[in-house]
Amino acid sequence: MATASFLHVSEDKSCCPICLGDFKLPRQLWCMHTFCQGCLQDFINSKVAQGKELTEFSCPICRNVTRPSDKDKPTSVWATLFPLNTVLQAISGNATAKVDQPCEACNTRGVSSQGVGFCVDCKEVMCETCEGVHRGLKLSRNHIIITMEEFMNNPQTVMKFAEGFNCSEHAGKEIEFYCKDHKIACCGTCCIVRHRNCCNVSELKKELSSLLRVMHPDSIIEQMKTLEAHLKKFKQINESNISLLESQVNNLTTQIRQLRKKLNDALDELETKVKTEGNRIYKEEMMRKQKENHECETIISAIRNSHTHIEAAKKYGTDTQLFLTVEKMTSQVTSYRDHIREKYQKTDILTLQLEFDPQMLSLSQSGSEMLSWCVEKKLEKFLNCPDIIMPMREYSETAIKLKLPCIKEPFYNGVQCLPNSQFIITDSINESVYLMDSSYNLVTSYASNKGVRDICLVNGNEVALLQKNNIQFLSVRDGKIIPTRMIATRGHYYCGGIVVSRNGDIFVSGRDDDYFYWSQISLEGRDMSYHQFGKKTGTLNTNIALDSSDSRVYVSVCGLNTLFGFSLDGSQNFAYSSESLKGPRGVAVDIDDNVYIVGQDSKNIHQLSPSGCCLRIISTDLHNKPVSISFLTDYGRFYITGWNSKRLGIFKLQ
C-alpha cells in the first residue's frame, strides 16, 4: 500500500529545486533534500569560489549543515559522495530516455566509464568492470544489481528493493530501529550513543504496521498537496505583481511620452509666438534705426560739403569770401551740434528678453529632480490556509508594564533612549521625569513644576526637557537626574516638540496666535530662525525630528492630521496625510533616514521615506492611544508610550 500510494503521488514529474529541470543523477543529502549531481556540485563549487575552505556546507533549501561521507576527498567530487536517490532516479526516467550514466566508482578516481548496472544495496551506478569486482567481493557478492535500463525505466523494481534510508547523523548507516520513548527512527549507532538508556527500542520493521496506522501517509500527502497549492498561489501572486509592475512601467513611460508631447507642443507654440512677435519688433526697430541712420548720412554729407567750401575759400577765394563762408558754416555747425545732442538724448538701445514663469524654469532642471517615486508595499493575505503560517508582519512587539509612582492617571507623552541602554519617560499629567534601567525598573525621578512637554537627547549624559516657557537641561549621571541650566523660550508660544542637532542647535515646534511654526535656537538661547506654516486649527499638539545629517526637519501637526517635511531654510518639501493616519504625534528617524510617525487615534505607525512616500503601516494593539516614539541605539528597536497606558511598547523590526 505504501508503495502504491507513493507511486500515485509521483505521477507528476519531479524536478530539481536548483535547476527546476528533470533530475539527472539525483543525490540525496542527509536532510533528505535531493538535487541533481551537477547542480549540487555547482553549488559546492560556488562556495569554494568565495574563498572558503570547506569541511561542510549548508543545504540550499533548509540550510542544515551537511558533511560528505569523506570530507578529505577533493571538493570537486563531493556531490558524488552522497547517496543516489534511487526512487527519484527511477521515477524521473522514461522508456525512451537514453541511459547515459557514468560509473560512480571510476568517477571518484577521475576515470570516465559508462555505467551498465545499479547496485540497489550500495545505491551506486557501476561500469561492467566494477560490477564484476562487486559481484566477486565477499562483502558485496549478495548485493542486488539490476541493469541500467531496468533502473531507469521501472520504478516498481527500484521501490521493491529501496526500503532503507540512511541516518542523517551518521553517514552510510541505515535506519533500522525505532525508539518509542523518543518517538524517533534511528540507526544502530544512534541506539548505542543516544538511546542506550531507553527502555522501548525495537526493530523498525516490527513497528511499521502500527506506526503507519497512526501516521496516515495519505493525510501527509494531502497536506503536501495543500502546501504545493498555496506555494503555486504565492507564485501566481508574484507573477501577477510582475505583470502589474511591467504594465505600470509602460503606463508611466506613456505618461512621460504624452507629457513630453504636450511640453513640445507648448514649446513649439511658444517658439512660434516668440519668433512672430520678435520679428515684428525687429522689423519696426530696424526701419526706425535705418531712418535715423539715413538722417545721419545726410548730415555727414552736408558737413563734408561745408568742409570742402571752407577749404576752397581758403585756397582760392578772397578774404571776404572766406569770412562769409566761415560765418555761414558756423551757424550750420551750431545747428548740427544741437541736432546731434538731441539724437544722443533720444537714442535708445532695444533689447529683447523672455521672462519665464518659475514653474516653467523648473522644467529645465534635471529629469531626476522633476519627480519622485512613490513605492507602496503591502502584504498579501492568504485566506483559508490554516496549515500555513504566513509572515503577516515585518516586526514583533512586546509590552512591559511600568511600575511608576504616579499620583494621577499618567500620560507618558515622551520617551528618550540613552546610549547606556537606560531610557527616560516623561509624564505630563504628574509633571515628572523617570529614569529607567535596561530591565525597565525605576532608577530615579525628577519633579518639574513648570510643565512637561517633550524631552530629547543632547549628548551622552545630558537631556533637554521642554517645559511651558523654558528648556530645562538635565544631567543624567550615576543614577541621578540633576538640573544644570535653563533657557527661556522667549517669543515661542505653546511649544510642543524639541530635538537637538549634532552641533548643539535646538529645534522647537509649536503654534503661535495664528500659525504653527518651527524654530531654531542656539544653546545660549539666541533665536536663529523662525518659520511659520499651516494656519492654526483643531488639536494643537506638535512634535519635531531631524534626519541624520540635520538637513531635514519633520514636524507633525495633530490638528491637521499631517506630517510636514522641511529644508533648513524653511522651504516645505512635502506634506504627508492619509486616511489611515489620524492624530499624528511622535516623530522619529531611523539610521536609513526613514521617518516614523505615530498615529494616536489611528493606533498605528506610518513609516515614510525621506521624501515623504509611505513605505509601510505598522499596527499596534499595545496602547489605547500611542503617543511618543524613540529608537534604541542599535536602531533595530524602538519604544512606544501612550495616553492612559501604563505599558511600554517595544517594537523590533525584522
pLDDT at 649 over 60: yes
- 81-99 pLDDT, tens digit per residue, is 887 776 676 666 543 444 5
pLDDT at 363 over 90: no
How far, in Å, are 458, 508, 523 from residue 505 at the CA level?
9, 10, 6
pLDDT at 195 over 60: yes
Look at 189-203, 213-227, 368-382, 553-567 and tell me which has the smallest mean pLDDT.
368-382
- Give whichever of 53-62, 432-441, 489-498 has the largest mean pLDDT: 432-441
- Give whichever of 28-42, 98-112, 374-388 has the largest mean pLDDT: 28-42
* Residue 520: pLDDT band with limits 50, 70, 90: very high
- How confident is the model over 105-114, as a mean pLDDT? 80
> For the CA atoms of 449, 451, 455, 461, what is the dihedral angle to 10 degrees?
-10
What span, in angstroms and rounded, lies between the C-alpha atoms of 482 and 459? 15
* Residue 375: pLDDT band with limits 50, 70, 90: low
> For the CA atoms of 485, 488, 492, 496, what is the dihedral angle to 10 degrees?
30
Terminal alpha carbon distance of the chain = 46
pLDDT of residue 57: 87
Domains of the chain: which residue ranges? 2-221, 247-369, 407-653
Q: For residue 442, which of 386, 474, 480 has the smallest C-alpha distance?
A: 480
pLDDT at 322 over 70: yes
* Residue 381: pLDDT band with limits 50, 70, 90: very low
- 540-556 pLDDT, tens digit per residue, is 789 999 998 899 999 99
pLDDT at 342 over 60: yes
pLDDT at 135 over 80: yes
pLDDT of residue 278: 86
Burial 101-140 (b: 16+ CB within 10 A, else e): bbbbbbbeeeeebebbbbbbebbbbbbeebbeebeeeeee
What span, in angstroms and rounded, lies between the C-alpha atoms of 149 and 101? 11
pLDDT at 607 over 80: yes
- 453-476 pLDDT, tens digit per residue, is 899 999 878 999 998 778 999 999
CA atoms within 13 A on the CB side of 61: 14
What span, in angstroms and rounded, lies between the C-alpha atoms of 429 and 413? 9
CA 152-154-155 angle, to 5 degrees, is: 95
- 470-493 pLDDT, tens digit per residue, is 899 999 988 899 999 888 876 556
pLDDT at 116 over 70: yes
pLDDT of residue 382: 40
- How confident is the model over 390-416, as a mean pLDDT? 66
407-653 maps to CATH 3.40.50.300 = no
pLDDT of residue 189: 92
What span, in angstroms and rounded, lies between the C-alpha atoms of 169 and 193? 11
pLDDT of residue 8: 34
